[in-house]
Chains A and B, each alone.
Chain A
Amino acid sequence: MTLFRRARRNKQLVVGVILAVVIAVLGIVGPWIFGAYDKQDLLSGHKSVGTPGNFFGTDALGRDLAARATYGIRISLIVAISVTALAVVLGMGIGLVAGYVKGRVDGVISLVIDFVWGFPLILVAVLAAASIGSGLLPVILAVGLVNTVAIARVVRGEVLGLTEKDFVVAAHAGGYSTSHILLRHIIPNVIPVALVLSSYYVAVAIIAEASLSFVGLGAQPPTPSLGQMVSDGRNFLRLNHWESTIPGVLIFVMVLSVSLIGDGLRDLLDPRLRTAVERASAK
């Protein structure tokens, strides 16, 4: 069976992709349809879902929740995807070097990995916010650093294992160049792991951005962020719970869709990855 046909039969992957497409469309088209996210109208605050003109209702300041939520999705997606893409490229590079060159280079890289590994992601983000001030930048730096290290750690382990495999040893004996071995034998075997990990780390990035913004250290007003919207709405749960529920559900669906895609990809590409990935996603 071709990969595409197997992919279509993979329920998790299909559901994940559908949800991801819906979210992406909301994030891309939403802000454009629903208009300005910061237009205040103090006389029409706390409107419920389905109010004409305000599809998702309004918040305490009368700002349109649909516009704010979709703009929040856009920010969340941009942050999560760009940071993870960078982390995958860097992390794979570092992991490849450490695992393939071994020796002293590996020693130094592993030391740095162990060092960063001692800091929980949220703590790194909080410290970054303490150092350069609250906003999206500390979140981006923290998530980038921790995810790069997390990916490098797994890739290094994989590469170390691969270099001892017979086909790599044989290629060495056959006199093939390092670049040939890396490109033809090592990297193709590392890519599935990196692909699966990257979807989990997109999820981690989304949650981290939302959590930090919820606590007040992430995106600063007037920039809308889903985490910050949940926090804004928490005092009005009895009055109009949608102010918190809508951004909350959106974060949940975003994270759910990427985790489903991750699980689906894992089963599709290599079921043996199961334990490796679960160990790695422990943070």
Chain B
Amino acid sequence: MKAVFRRTLTMLLLLLVSSFAVFAAIRLSGGDVTAARLPASASAADRALFRQQVGLDKPIINQYFTYLRKLATGDLGNSLTNNAKLSTLATEKIRNSLILGGSSMVVIFALGIPLGMLAAMRRNSWLDTGITSISVAGMAIPNFWLALISIYVFSTLLGWLPSAGQGGIRYLILPTLVLSAEGIALTVRMTRSAMLENLGQDFVRTLRAAGVSERRIHFKHVLRSSLMPLISLAGLRIGQIAGYALVVETIFGWAGVGQALVNAVLRRDYPVVQLFSLLLVVLVTFGNLMATVGYTVANPRLRK
């Protein structure tokens, strides 16, 4: 318990460092910030004035403290592109990303675990070979290309699903499947190898000798000891999803944090880049912490 507390404290400290790293990194660029807001015809004096207005003429460390002070009072700042309040902008983007990321998380485990179990229980059958091969391919296929193929097949050719945008559940299907593909493949592999490993353990032999049915051995005993470590590592999937969301949201025109971040980088909109990268880092750091804690809880042998 004390270790968890210490780790959490360290994480909070690291997040502060991360916030400064992000802050400094995007400000070191030689590019012209004013291009985000001012027309190309703006004079040098106008540009200098704009820099002064948004405080970009001061030393980075001063800017950082101003930023922290405002952050503490709940002021997230404004976008450089259209001066919109970030707090309003962020709420909507975060909601959209949570919908997409959350459903991918559910799909990863809802599809990955049963498929992995099936492959392990029918070891070396054509079903096992099929599931394993698809999961190897699923890990190798770049998700932006998978996105293009699925858009081409399911919306351009067949016209079953919309190719981009927000709306009902129909808009959610393709981006969710693409975003979760690698996670599903990984979960299948991990479930399969964990189950096979456990099937070879002594307790399975003992259960068999005691006359417990195969079905009961598989579903009750082996599954439970295989799934604990797997689910305890769910936090690591958050990092994976958060990273790929940048690409997948951009392709599907999903108005979430990832798309907003990529657009903001292309337009050099500092406050937006800052806010959304930090959000992702907080999320991923939290996921990693959850995985470390979860894994220790699930494996009593690691507790020292």
Contacts and interface: CB of A to CB of B under 8 A. Distances in A.
B24 to A, nearest CB: 9
Given A122-B243, A210-B144, A278 B186 contact: yes
Contact of A120 (B15, B17, B240, B268): B240
Interface in A188-235: 203, 207, 210-211, 214-217, 227, 230-231, 234
Given A126-B246, A214-B144, A251-B145, A114 B152 contact: no
Interface in B23-48: 25-26, 28-31
B236 A211 contact: no
In the A-B complex, list the 5 residue pairs whose CB atoms are closest, starting with the nearest. A120-B243, A118-B285, A256-B140, A282-B236, A248-B145
Contacts of A275: 193-194, 197
Contacts of B25: 127-128, 130-131
B29 to A, nearest CB: 5
A256 B266 contact: no
Given A115-B14, A121-B243, A130 B268 contact: yes
Nearest to A120: B243
B265 A126 contact: yes
Nearest to A260: B136
A283 B137 CA distance: 17
A20 to B, nearest CB: 13
B274 to A, nearest CB: 10
A244 interface: yes
B18 A282 contact: no
B247 interface: yes
Interface in B160-201: 186, 189-190, 193-194, 197
Nearest to B242: A120
Q: How large is the interface on B (under 10, 10 to 19, 20 to 34, 35 or more residues)?
A: 35 or more
Contacts, number: 146
Interface string A51-87: 0000000000000000000000000000000000000
A231 B288 CA distance: 32
A167 interface: no
A274 interface: yes
Interface-centre pick from A119, A130, A278 (highest chain B CB count, 10 A) = A130
Nearest to A241: B152
Contacts of B262: 126, 215, 217
B250 interface: yes
Given A120-B244, A122-B243, 20 more contacts: A114-B14, A115-B18, A119-B284, A120-B239, A126-B277, A127-B277, A128-B25, A207-B142, A217-B265, A231-B144, A234-B148, A244-B145, A251-B145, A252-B142, A255-B142, A275-B193, A275-B194, A275-B197, A281-B186, A283-B243
Task: Determine the main DSSP class of A at the interface with B.
Answer: helix
Nearest to B15: A118
Nearest to A129: B265
B119 interface: no
Nearest to A146: B243
16 contacts: A115-B17, A119-B281, A122-B246, A123-B246, A126-B262, A126-B277, A127-B265, A131-B25, A211-B143, A230-B145, A237-B148, A237-B156, A278-B186, A282-B240, A283-B236, A283-B240
Contacts of B265: 126-127, 129-130, 217
A3 interface: no
B105 interface: no
A35 interface: no
A251 B142 contact: yes
B273 interface: yes
A28 B215 CA distance: 54
A132 to B, nearest CB: 7
Given A282-B239, A283-B236, A132 B139 contact: no
A33 to B, nearest CB: 25
A241 to B, nearest CB: 7
Contacts of B149: 248
B240 A278 contact: no
Contact of B30 (A111, A133, A217, A237): A133
Contact of A123 (B10, B144, B197, B281): B281
Contacts of B26: 127, 130-131
A227 B236 contact: no
Contacts of A274: 193
Interface in A122-147: 122-123, 126-133
